[in-house]
Amino acid sequence: MKERLSRLLQKVSQRPPSGEGPVEGIPLNYPELVTRAREEWLAARALFENVSDPDLVDHAIHLITATEKKYAYLLRQAKADGAAGDIY
């Protein structure tokens, strides 16, 4: 159980590769970014479902909220940039 929680925490807290992000003149790869954000959100939900310590429950709730907002933001951005068709 500890090992599984450790893997979930590691997956949720992974940082994107350096150099990734909006750079003028270089389009974002929305399908990849949205897929990664969705995986982070699902990992946060899985963490919540597998913890019982009150501190970890609070942590998992905050992760769910943050990853949900990131996922929704990227979906909105993709739609605004006309790339939403590439995602679904």
**DSSP secondary structure of 49-68:** HT--SHHHHHHHHHHHHHHH
Give the residue-averaged pLDDT of 43-68: 95
State the Cα–Cα distance between residues 23 and 52, nearest whole angstrom: 41
Judge whether 15 lies within some domain.
no
Judge whether 55 lies within some domain.
yes
Judge whether 48 lies within some domain.
yes
pLDDT higher at 14 or 51: 51
Task: Give the mean pLDDT of the chain.
Answer: 80
Number of domains in the chain: 1
pTM for this prediction: 0.66
Range of the domain at 38: 2-10+29-85
